Chain A
């Protein structure tokens, strides 16, 4: 069951209340079925114009399936998705004209130059010749690749190639931008650079963005609202602050005992304000509590009375990691994918 923390007005593209802008994306009871397996189960959400919306979820949760349905890559089994007011099933080409898509893999042609890659895509979107050059210059400036326009793509680093992919998705000046795990595989510096770039693009181009990510920090820093998807259903939806507040316990106490003991979870659970105890490795516990300072004091007193030593102790606010674990659980997900005998190895430099 979806937990909508702050439900918005029920807005449809064709039926938005007067004075209220229609949503850029509206997903209504959307279902994707592969044979007997239901990958997406009656998901509903809306993305407002100009919003950055994040889809979070473990592997195999259905994030990529959702984004692929919204970008017309796979057919919708039932329900509907409106993108920019157009139904993805009935007006696929109209949807394609107004969206930019950054797939998970780096798919720019390595044998072509940066400019050639952009030019080919501008032509695929039928950008008029007069605008093509201007658009290419603008997006290259926006992603800080202007001085590399003549470089062959295979000579670029992973971060630069990801920026090229972003430029490629923007070359036809789309209204809505879909990014499927845009920073996966990037080093921390490149990742932060991409975040800053996406924030700038949102401001300068009035873009609506929908992104999927594994990184909680990325979702926290970029997204206005986040939807958590698990087992094909939407389990939570709200702003990052709302989601954090929705988890019982406003603080997290992380403690490591010198000695591993089976009794620790039970003992920790008895402390005042504790709502959850998560066992980490080697005697490390994450204790969710509504009162961080009181729990910390009691924890130290308990350890002293038992004659046990603490190796480390820290108190922090609830993070999106805790939200994620709260809603999706800690169970490892074994993802089944379409069986193929051979997976094409990436060409050198294909992965960041």
Chain B
């Protein structure tokens, strides 16, 4: 056991003497949290919409008044007057404007005669998010125009009443769980994967192998040290990220305990996975080359930035065996929902089982000789 602790001591002394690892492991997730958290989840503002009015009647004036109202209030779009429909379409195509509304000739007359009045909307559907936002806003305008001036005596509109269990979750808060898991992954990748192979290539392990240390002591020493580094990264990002995102859950002792269990389980799972992948690798290029691929393969299918329910079947299959999925689900359950231990039992079970399982497979593969 003392020899195992010697390995841990060596790794931790190096870690604290060179804080670059901890800073680097938190830099990407923090930048991602700040940039993506602010970039996504917001509403479209200031889109440019051309209005081509061939009618010039009282109903087209009414529509333009509604547009002006949107422009000064919710500001989803501002309008530009066009005289030529073809020019408006061309400008949408070339990206000069985001959409064009065509008010056809005789529109007012069709409204008054109830003769299927139509408005045209030209959108750039290569940008789904923008076109959906403009379409949604236009649809609500049209719905408002369709309301009868004199209400029916029997109201037939059926309304869906939505009950939101939690306060409004901004995207930054939603993203925080993924950022914590990502920081721990980077810490394991650099501190456990790259440094391990670099040490191997520099001959440091040769020094260990001529001592009476056993295979199990060496494997456990390296993995416990790696797990401690990942736990420290996870704790730092949980605290910093929660403060940045405005989540007060970190001030509740019970939630803190749950978060610690999750961080511990995640670090063991990530370390076991990394050790299994690196146990027979000698070339220092390999972990560097794998870094980006693994990041994409594990982080994105995990539901960190997009719900798993929207994935195709094969991507859901990856999510099922991906430790990121359970880590992120658990962090969301505590950070966003304060669900308590019961909400993360399944995640903890998977993470600890995954970590122990991968270590059990990796240990016999570890070579005690060169």
Chain A residues proximal to chain B, CB less than 8 Å: 68, 71-75, 93, 96-97, 99, 101, 103-105, 107, 109, 111-112, 116, 120-121, 123-126, 168, 340-344, 346-347, 350
Contact = CB atoms under 8 A, between A and B. Distances in A.
Nearest to B208: A124
A101 B2 contact: no
B3 A126 contact: yes
Interface in B224-253: none
B291 to A, nearest CB: 15
Contacts of A121: 207, 211
Interface residues on B, range: 20 to 34
B202 A125 contact: no
B206 A123 contact: no
Interface in B36-59: none
A109 B10 contact: yes
Nearest to B285: A342
A124 B9 contact: no
A341 B282 CA distance: 10
B2 A107 contact: no
A116 B13 contact: yes
Given A72-B210, A73-B370, A97-B212, A123 B283 contact: no
B201 A344 contact: yes
A88 B125 CA distance: 73
B369 interface: yes
| Overall SS of chain B's interface | helix
A247 to B, nearest CB: 36
A125 B2 CA distance: 9
Nearest to A346: B202
Interface in B194-226: 198, 201-204, 206-213
A92 to B, nearest CB: 8
B212 A74 contact: no
A123 B3 contact: yes
B17 A112 contact: yes
Contacts of A93: 212
B284 interface: yes
Contacts of B6: 120, 123-124
A343 B201 contact: yes
Contacts of B73: none
Contacts of B282: 340
A347 B225 CA distance: 22
23 contacts: A96-B210, A97-B212, A103-B206, A103-B207, A103-B210, A105-B203, A107-B202, A109-B10, A112-B10, A112-B17, A116-B13, A121-B211, A124-B6, A124-B7, A124-B208, A124-B212, A125-B211, A126-B2, A341-B283, A342-B285, A343-B201, A344-B198, A350-B202
A96 B203 contact: no
A257 B81 CA distance: 100
Contacts of B17: 111-112
Contacts of A97: 212
A112 to B, nearest CB: 6
B5 interface: yes
A99 B210 contact: yes
Given A111-B18, A342-B284, A123 B198 contact: no
A162 to B, nearest CB: 14
Given A103-B203, A105-B202, A123-B2, A340 B210 contact: no
A112 B207 CA distance: 15
Given A68-B370, A107-B204, A340 B283 contact: yes
Given A73-B370, A74-B370, A123-B9, A111 B210 contact: no
Given A72-B369, A101-B210, A112 B203 contact: no
